[in-house]
Structure 1
Amino acid sequence: MIVFLTLIYVALLFVLIRLKVVPNSGLTWATTLVWMVVLFIFLFIPLQWGAPQGSTRVLTRAVQVIPNVNGEVIEITAEPNVAMKKGDLLFQLDPEPFQIALNAAEAQLVRVEAQAKQDIDALRNAEAQLRQALAAQVLAQNRYDDDAQLVQSGAISENRLEQRETDLEAAEAAVDQASAAISQAETELGAVTADGTVAKVAEAQANLDQARWNLKQTTVVAPSDGYITNLALAVGQRVTSFPIAPSMVFVDTSEKTLVVNIQQIYMRHLKPGQEVEIALKTKPGEILTGKVRLVTEIASQGQALVSGTVYSAGQIQAEPFVARIDLDDPALLTALPPGAVGTAAIYTESVKPTHIIRRVMIRMQSIMNYVIPPL
């Protein structure tokens, strides 16, 4: 732009010299250098913070598709670079092993529920045995007391009293055994969850729910609107749920973001709501307009990474910060392909007279996008 304005100044000097308004001298032509210095100091230096510009690009999510269960692929319905809706089938794993596990979990639940009913019957039986043992204990105690009196009066021998004592001890042991059986049955029935379900029944139900969930996960669906790219998965291949082994990559087109990189020295002039003009490589000759939505107040060098080593200073660079842009026409962002790049200019409240230069520059760059491939 300095060169362009200088050429205009030179053309103006040429016209003035031809009209003999100014003399054709070295001093007259030397004013061209003065003109360039004035432009640089009073226009192009303030332009950098009055209307800063930076590279811009369209971002979206690329989701690594990792199934929640391991299995063999038996069907692939996704096609590369074909638009899909959220919930559409991507590929199907062999469900047979998970169906077998589900059948086993259902059988286990039935068996445990039957055991829970048996525990109730066992408690009732133990209570009945306790009542019977208590009655036998009372009878044995009465017989022992009667025979003890007869022994004192000499009516019977002490051998019979010893037999009564043995019967009493056996009755007391029966009471203890019945009490232990009741305690065991109450323990089985007393282990319940917060909602009152017997613990082992709840455990069997949880195993059944897990088996059902695992079976459902054999159907891998699209996490959102988008498409699969770089599809290398094949039928018969075995996939795992490890994060280090994704099955495919899914490009999420449900939400796109337009961001612009702004150097740190201009950050103090930026704030949300400022006007933005964008020249994209995918739309040469066009200017997109928008507003600054927010400025991300952190750069990659500002994060502390978790590691087992002492912090290393390394090489420090003043990398740019990122501002998020909202286009005035949101439909335009929907039509932009992720990865589209270009240049954006943000018009701040500082040095507003420089804005017209930036507007001219951004339009020139948009036109040059027809012939210049790089940014």
Structure 2
Amino acid sequence: MMVALLVLAFASLVFWLVFFRFKLIRLTPGWGVVFGFFVVHLLLVFVIGLRFVTPNSANATVVQRTIQLVPRLPEPTLVEQVLVEEGAPVKKGQTLFQFDRRPYQYKVDQISAQLAAAKQNVKVLKADVDAATQGARKAKVELEYAQYQKRIFDKLAQEQAVREETVEEWLTKVNAAEATNDAALAQLERARLQYKSEIDGINTTVANMESQLQLARYYLDNTTLTAPEDGHIINLQVRPGMVAGTIRAGGIAAFIADADRYLLATYFQENLKYVKPGQPVEVALDLYPGQIFRGTVDSIWRGNGIGQYLPSDDIPKFQQPPPNVPQGQYAVKIRLDHPDESKFPIGAQGLAAIYTGGEHGAWAVLRKISIRAHSWFNWLYPLDI
């Protein structure tokens, strides 16, 4: 920069000496155009230096994360209490809204009773197994007795001591006893399967009722909506008597988180050639005319939606963008050094200058003058008297 200033000063001196002091050459429009052409091109050095050594963005915005407060309830539910004031700071876990607990408490009570009945039914199933076991034993004994009697009467029939009708009678009894025994064994197996129906060592009916009870308690707990982290709510429109739940689209309020706020400034891509994380930044927010805030470059978002194509069966049509459409820019994430982050609310806008070579040097001085002039000019502009 100093070289450009010296060359400009020397050229101006030569121009003055030649055309005004000694009048060696008569000043004509041609000579004026030539000298003006030289000066204009020399001034480009200052423009290039400011753009690349101290890039400046007039589109810097304070960004805070927002959380959509959506009631996690399975059905429309009455809002009973609003326990937060608009704009008031809240802490993580603080109760914000209280919904009607009664329908969900009734559900918990109902499933609790069903769970108790299911646990009691397990004992009934155990008794059924014992009863079926005894029934199977009895049927087995009766079968063995019928078979024994049949063998005796078969022997007596061979000796012609009894009639054939008696033998046939005991054969029928044996067949009936076998059928009874098979039925008893099937009943025993059925009772055992019902009793042994388990998952992870718990009866399936009991496990099912326990999972339903956990879900019911989850919804009951969610009738109290608490702050997910430190923050505040603006534009609070929720009032007692409002119905919230599945019939609503989206959340009932926007929660603005206090933590991890930052400044996002957009720059033309070529101006980021020498920008790196950790470099110093000065910010002039429109919210605070006449004040300059310091920060550092956190990261560069090297991405722009212009380069994104969604899956489709349409072949892209590549056309030259209209001249009035601005060139695609990249965003730079900036961390402000001020200890009180509450001074920088969401959406606050301003100007941000990055000093790629540090805050010392001729280019930095020019940019400091420029950004401070912008900040002080905010006392007057916009003219909305």
Corresponding letter in the other structure for 1:105: I
Deviations 1:109-163 (A, max 9, x none): 0111111111111112111211221122111111111111111211111111111
Alpha-carbon contact 2:262-2:336 (below 8 Å) kept: no
Instruction: Report the Cα offset of residue 100 of structure 1.
Output: 1.0
| Structure 1 residue 273 corresponds to structure 2 residue 278 | yes
Instruction: Report the Cα offset of residue 26 of structure 1.
Output: 5.3
CA pair 291-243 structure 1, distance change in 2 beyond 3 A: farther
Corresponding letter in the other structure for 1:120: K
Deviations 1:178-211 (A, max 9, x none): 21122212222332223x1111101001111111
Corresponding letter in the other structure for 1:339: G
Paired residue secondary structure (2:366)? helix
CA pair 238-312 structure 1, distance change in 2 beyond 3 A: farther
Aligned partner of 1:183 among 181, 189, 212: 189
Query: Structure 2 matches for 1:214-363, cutoff 5 A?
Result: 214-241=219-246, 244-305=249-310, 310=314, 312-313=316-317, 318-329=327-338, 331-349=339-357, 354-363=363-372
1:43 aligned partner:
46
CA pair 50-328 structure 1, distance change in 2 beyond 3 A: same
Instruction: Report the Cα offset of residue 64 of structure 1.
Output: 2.3
1:114 aligned partner:
120
Deviations 1:55-108 (A, max 9, x none): 211111232221011301122222222222222222211111111111100010
Instruction: Report the Cα offset of residue 313 of structure 1.
Output: 4.5
Query: Structure 2 matches for 1:87-236, cutoff 5 A?
Result: 87-194=93-200, 196-236=201-241
Q: Distance in 2 between matches of 1:372 and 1:26?
A: 43
Q: Distance in 2 between matches of 1:311 and 1:191?
A: 57
Instruction: Report the Cα offset of residue 298 of structure 1.
Output: 1.7
Moved segments of 4+, more than 6 Å: 20-23, 27-30
Alpha-carbon contact 2:294-2:336 (below 8 Å) kept: yes
2:380 aligned partner:
371
Corresponding letter in the other structure for 1:172: E
CA pair 348-246 structure 1, distance change in 2 beyond 3 A: same
Paired residue secondary structure (1:43)? helix
Deviations 1:290-325 (A, max 9, x none): 22111112223334446x763655876632111111
TM-score (norm 1): 0.85
Paired residue secondary structure (2:118)? helix
Deviations 1:200-259 (A, max 9, x none): 101001111111111111112222222222222222221113672422222222331211
Aligned partner of 2:64 among 60, 63, 68: 60
CA pair 362-332 structure 1, distance change in 2 beyond 3 A: farther
Paired residue secondary structure (1:269)? coil
Q: Distance in 1 between matches of 2:299 and 2:171?
A: 93
TM-score (norm 2): 0.83
Alpha-carbon contact 2:229-2:257 (below 8 Å) kept: yes
Instruction: Report the Cα offset of residue 22 of structure 1.
Output: 8.1
Percent identical? 28
Corresponding letter in the other structure for 1:225: D
Q: Aligned pairs, how many?
A: 357
Corresponding letter in the other structure for 1:151: A
Paired residue secondary structure (1:255)? coil
Could you list the runs of 5+ residues in structure 2 that have no partner in the other structure?
none
Q: How well do the aligned residues superpose, as a CA RMSD in angstroms?
A: 3.0
Corresponding letter in the other structure for 1:290: G
Paired residue secondary structure (1:338)? coil
Corresponding letter in the other structure for 1:133: A
Alpha-carbon contact 2:231-2:257 (below 8 Å) kept: yes
Alpha-carbon contact 1:229-1:250 (below 8 Å) kept: yes
Paired residue secondary structure (2:288)? coil
Q: Distance in 1 between matches of 2:104 and 2:281?
A: 55
Could you list the runs of 5+ residues in structure 1 that have no partner in the other structure?
none
